[in-house]
Every structure is written in C-alpha cells, then in structure tokens.
Structure 1
Amino acid sequence: MTDFDPRALRSAFGTFLTGVTVVTTHDKSGRPIGFTANSFSSVSLDPPLVSVCLANTSSNFNTFSEAAGFAVNILSEDQISVSNTFARPSQDRFSGVEWKPGPNGAPILAGVSAWFDCSVFKTVEAGDHLILIGRVEAFDHSIAPGLGYARGAYVTPAAEARALNRRAGVVVSALIERDGQILLLDDGNGGLTIPATEDMANGADTALAQLIAGCRIKAEPGFIYSVYQDKSRRQHISFLCQAEDGSPANGAFTQIVESTLMDVADPAICTMLERFARESRLGNFGIYYGDETSGRVKPLVRGS
C-alpha cells in the first residue's frame, strides 16, 4: 500500500479535478497511448481512488480495459495544443509531446498542472462507457493553473482576469492556497483577512499579480472562485490561486477551522473561507454568484 499525506492529496484532488485531462497507458508492445478524458473525478481518499470514463467506441478501449495501470494528466492552461492532439485521431499522439514513465510506469506528460499514476483497482461497465477506477500509487502537482473547457471553448485563468480589465468599482482578492491552507493577513483591527486591492488601473490580471507579488511568495493566478456585490455596490472578484513552498512576507498559511473563522471580521470573506474548507474536504469546487449575504454556487464544468 502506498501512503500519502491526506491533506496534500485532498488539495491536489480539489484543485485540479475540473480541468482538461489526458489519460495515458502503454499497450502490450510498450507503445504509449492516451486520450482526452470526458470524465474524471475522485472516488475515495482512503484508499486513494480516482475514476475516468472511456467510450466503448474508443480505438483505445481494448488496451485500457486490459491495462494494469494508467495515469491521469491534468493539463496546464498553455497546453491547448496537447489537448487537441489527444482528442483527435492520430497514428502517434506522443510524437510531438515530451513525456516520461511515472513511478508506477504510466506515461506522464511534461508541463502538466498535476498527474496521478495509478494501478487499476476496478473496471465497471456503465452503458456506452467503461469506468476505470484507479488506485493512486504516486502523484505530483505544480502551481501552474489548469486548462478548463466549457460550452465548446477552452477557458483559462488568464483569460478570465483579462476579461475584467479596467472595470471601475471592482475589488480583486486572492484566495492563496497551499496544501489545504489559506494565506491570511492581519486586517489591521486584530482580525484576519485575505489579500485584496481596489487598484484596477491596469486591469484585474495586473492587480492580481501585484497582490501575489506583495506577499513575496511564488503563486500562480487561478480561476475565479467567488463573485459578489457588497452593500456599497462594489463588485468583489476572488481568485483561487496555488502557492509553492516558502514563507510569505506577511501573514501565514492557516488551516480553515472554526477558531480561525471567528477571527475573520468580514462576513462575506468568512462565508467564502467556510465554503472553501467544505469544498476542499469534498474535492468538488464551484463558483459563487450573489451578494455578500446570499447567492448560489455553480459547480465548475468538468473536463471534456
């Protein structure tokens, strides 16, 4: 049995399961094969299990149904070409892609946001698809933002931020996460808050980059996590970002528990942090739309 830090694995699951994924393995001759997954989700943390769905009509069906293991590669936002390569028919999808064998043997693509190298735990026939359930034998993830796909188009964190450029009355904040903990700052009144700014002179993407730089920690801008309007009719946009190891210049990474929430004076931020803690445990994130007191959470679209 492979032992993992549950907090690190939960963080990897929760952060990346909504992105575009490429599933890989080797055929009987040792040749690497792969496809862009149309469904990927976590199944269990103990034991660590993930699942992907493979269409019965896929040219890879026999190979994957008989394979002893496979890897799930979560593509980063600059890997649109990789997604297209593995989504289209090709004699050798790996010819222009850098990869290496993972610890459990399956092909791991270079530059991905995260990967999970799995042994086959179980296969389940489900209508016109086969569900492959894999036991995670090894995994790794980076701070690179994932590539999303919704309504027939790719979605990236950079594009989301640029779409908000130069809007007046907008507050940009950063929910900076590492291993399930959030970077919290002193709000100046003895309480806690998250990095935020109203300086939108150069756009939301620049404002977010400056927030991260001000914390003096390496982190990548992520997807919009919450959108709401306060009583002053200011629009608040919060981005979920991933941080690397290192000590921030201000504040500290903190586990979101009840005692921590009691120190957060802003009720909207408190609610957002409470929601993050809950979704992090479930590994199923969404986007909040509403005002500072009520709204709805729309689940993120899973990879295609």
Structure 2
Amino acid sequence: MAMQAAVPDNRTTIDPIALRRAFGTFVTGVTVITTVDAEGHPRGMTANSFASVSLDPPLLLVCVGKGASSYPTFAGAGKFAVNLLSDAQTDVSNLFASKATDKFAAVNHDVVHTGAPVLTDCLTWFDCSMHDRVEAGDHMILIGRVQAFGTSPSAPLGFCRGRYAQVKDPLPPGWLSSTDMIVGYLIEAQGDVLLVADGKGGWVLPTAPRRPVNGRLPVAGGGELSLVSDETFLYSVFDVDGHDSGYLIYRARLAEARGELTLPPGFRFFSPDSLPYDRIESVEMRAMLRRFVRETAGGGSYSIYMGSPDGGRVATVGAAQPWAQHVQS
C-alpha cells in the first residue's frame, strides 16, 4: 500500500490578546442579558456580542463565555432577555459585569412575557424564548425568538477598544414608526404648569419612559416626580403634523409641596398667564395648553380630546374618582 505524504499545517498561530484587541475595534452597543435560575432567582451579566438574526421568524443572538459564572444558568435556560443599555447606564453595565451578589437590587426590573427579568429603564429590551444553542469554541451562542420588545428614544451606550464610547445623533427624523406614541404629562402644582426645556430654546411637556409606579413618575432625562395617583388621568390623544409619533397626554397633579421639591435640570413651572406659547413648537401642544387653562379657569371640569382627520372629539369628564369606588360590590 502506497504511503501518503503528510500535508503540512500552514496555519499561523494567532495571538489571542492581539485578536481580542482587533475584535474590540468594532463599535458595539452594551447589553445586559438576564434569565432566572432553577430556583427562580434572577441572574444577569453584561455582554456586547449581540446581533439581530432574522425578522421572520424574529430571532436574535448573544454569545455567553463558558468561563462566566452565569454560564451554566444561561446554557440551561429556556428563556432570556436582552437589555440594550442607554448612554446614562454605564453604572448598570459595570454592576452586571461585577461579582456583586444581588445585582438586581439597584435596578428597576419586571417580567413581561417569558418570565425573564426585563430592565424597565434601559434603551431597548427583547424578551425571548430559547430558539437554539450553538457551541462555538469558548463561547455558546444563544439564539432567542423574540416574544416581546420595547424601545425608547434615549441614546445608546457604545463600546469600542475596551472602553465606553458616545454615539451622536442616535435618533434621526422618521426613525420611529407611526404606531409609536410619546407619553407626556401635563403636571399642575398650585395652579402652575410644569414644562421642560427642549434643548433648542423651546419648551415641551415632561415625558416618561414608563408609567408611574406607586405614584413615582420617572421623567426622561433623569429624576422622578411624585404624583397624586387618584388625580392622574388621560387628557389628550393626538398626532402632530410632520411627525411620525402620536401623543398620549396625561393630566396630573404634583403630590409634593413646591417648596420641598428639587426639580430635575431644565424643568420649570409657569403660571397660566405666562405660558411661553411662542416657544412651544407644536400647534397641537399650544392648543391643548390653552384648553387646559380655560378648563382650569372654568372650575376644573376637564375634557378628553381625541384627534381625528375632521378636527377631533372632546368628551367632558367630571372630577377624578378612585377606582376602588367603582369595583366595590
């Protein structure tokens, strides 16, 4: 039998440290991936090896290092969430990259669809069931099928060359779909209205990334406001010409005394006769504020406005009443 000559191995040896640095020149976002262990305890870790895979079916992937302390939990999980961090969440990234024993104590989180923890204040979250697992060297690729997701207009947290990076102009005009709604709050305190600077010399209503919890409203830009829960109700729903997003506006009253309140940067109270209408860009927003001033002066008999192509509808409502009064047997 003829002898076969050995084929030389021409592969060069790769320096793993140099390769890691080369991989690190690719600008990525930063995620916190989360799941629950066999006892139902939340587990999470920071990762930046994330990618979208498919729209139909809706799939994504994230890579988990086999040396990570949470690796066994993720490798055996049937569900997980991927939470993309905003540029104000470097502390969250550092927390979940650490060996802290209770990483979830300092972050707001909830369950949405699968039961995996979702970080409610992040840039974007994807709640996934496990679609597939792929062994890949010293990592495992988790492929998740998206069951629910949510996003916000915050700027993303970037990562490049082993450090955090800023991403400019994260939300160009027209990015949001027409089905998205901006949630704003028309907040009154002692007859005055709370507005926030828009960064362009104008004023807008405060917006929030999520609904109030126990009367505490997290406002976009950071900080919280305390509202009277029983006096917070839907006030106006409308579209704005030239914008893809519609508006949901809630009427609310501040629970704290003005003298005890430290407002977040850019926030300011205006009396009804000094509202800066000429510095509020939206015609619809100006009209809504004028209606609010008229209704307040008329004794507080407020209405709900619903926009429509023919001019909209207004339904008058009485004083807000606690929900418990309507569900008692």
TM-score (norm 2): 0.47
Measured after TM superposition, the shift of residue 47 of structure 1 is: 0.5
Residue 220 (structure 2) pairs with residue 210 (structure 1): no
Residue 99 (structure 2) pairs with residue 109 (structure 1): no
Residue 89 (structure 2) pairs with residue 79 (structure 1): yes
2:79 is matched by which residue type in structure 1?
G
| Equivalent residue number for residue 178 of structure 1 | 176
Higher-Rg member (1/2) = 2
Residue 28 (structure 2) pairs with residue 36 (structure 1): no
Please show how residues 140-151 of structure 1 align to structure 2 within 5 Å.
Answer: 140-151=150-161
| Equivalent residue number for residue 196 of structure 1 | none
Change (3 A) 1:87 1:180: farther
Match of 1:137 among 143, 147, 152: 147
Measured after TM superposition, the shift of residue 29 of structure 1 is: 0.5
Tell me how far apart the structure 2 counterparts of residues 96 and 45 of structure 1 sit (CA, whole Å).
33
Measured after TM superposition, the shift of residue 31 of structure 1 is: 0.6
Alignment deviations for residues 202-259 of structure 1 (CA, whole Å, 9 cap, x no partner): xxxx9x9429x69999899xxxxxxxxxxxxxxxxxxxxxxxx96345x3549xxxxx
Change (3 A) 1:252 1:27: closer
2:28 and 2:160 in contact (8 A); partners too: no
Match of 1:50 among 38, 60, 63: 60
Residue 163 (structure 2) pairs with residue 153 (structure 1): yes
The runs of 4+ residues in structure 1 deviating greater than 4 Å are 213-220
1:51 and 1:131 in contact (8 A); partners too: yes
Change (3 A) 1:177 1:38: closer
| Equivalent residue number for residue 34 of structure 2 | 24
Tell me how far apart the structure 1 counterparts of residues 103 and 243 of structure 2 sit (CA, whole Å).
44
1:44 is matched by which residue type in structure 2?
S
Task: Name which of structure 1's ranges 69-78 and 17-26 shifts more when overlaid on structure 2.
Answer: 17-26
Measured after TM superposition, the shift of residue 104 of structure 1 is: 1.3
Residue 245 (structure 2) pairs with residue 247 (structure 1): no
Tell me how far apart the structure 2 counterparts of residues 68 and 174 of structure 1 sit (CA, whole Å).
36
1:143 and 1:219 in contact (8 A); partners too: no
1:20 and 1:149 in contact (8 A); partners too: yes
RMSD of aligned Cα (Å): 3.4
Tell me how far apart the structure 2 counterparts of residues 105 and 139 of structure 1 sit (CA, whole Å).
13
Change (3 A) 1:35 1:246: farther
Structure 1 gaps of 5+ residues are 1-16, 162-172, 182-205, 221-244, 255-304
Tell me how far apart the structure 1 counterparts of residues 152 and 59 of structure 2 sit (CA, whole Å).
20
Match of 2:69 among 51, 56, 59: 59
Measured after TM superposition, the shift of residue 97 of structure 1 is: 1.7
Tell me how far apart the structure 2 counterparts of residues 217 and 177 of structure 1 sit (CA, whole Å).
21
Change (3 A) 1:151 1:30: same
Task: Name which of structure 1's ranges 126-135 and 90-99 shifts more when overlaid on structure 2.
Answer: 90-99
Tell me how far apart the structure 1 counterparts of residues 136 and 238 of structure 2 sit (CA, whole Å).
45
| More RCO (CA 8 Å, sep 6+) | 1
Change (3 A) 1:180 1:128: farther
| Equivalent residue number for residue 130 of structure 2 | 120
Alignment deviations for residues 153-202 of structure 1 (CA, whole Å, 9 cap, x no partner): 22234xx58xxxxxxxxxxx953421289xxxxxxxxxxxxxxxxxxxxx
2:123 is matched by which residue type in structure 1?
S
Tell me how far apart the structure 2 counterparts of residues 248 and 210 of structure 1 sit (CA, whole Å).
18
* Number of aligned positions between the proteins: 175
Tell me how far apart the structure 2 counterparts of residues 174 and 180 of structure 1 sit (CA, whole Å).
14
Measured after TM superposition, the shift of residue 19 of structure 1 is: 2.2
Tell me how far apart the structure 1 counterparts of residues 174 and 79 of structure 2 sit (CA, whole Å).
33
Task: Name which of structure 1's ranges 121-130 and 82-91 shifts more when overlaid on structure 2.
Answer: 82-91
Residue 102 (structure 2) pairs with residue 98 (structure 1): no
2:32 and 2:93 in contact (8 A); partners too: yes
TM-score (norm 1): 0.51
1:42 is matched by which residue type in structure 2?
S
Measured after TM superposition, the shift of residue 75 of structure 1 is: 1.0
Change (3 A) 1:174 1:105: closer
Tell me how far apart the structure 1 counterparts of residues 68 and 56 of structure 2 sit (CA, whole Å).
31
| Equivalent residue number for residue 7 of structure 2 | none
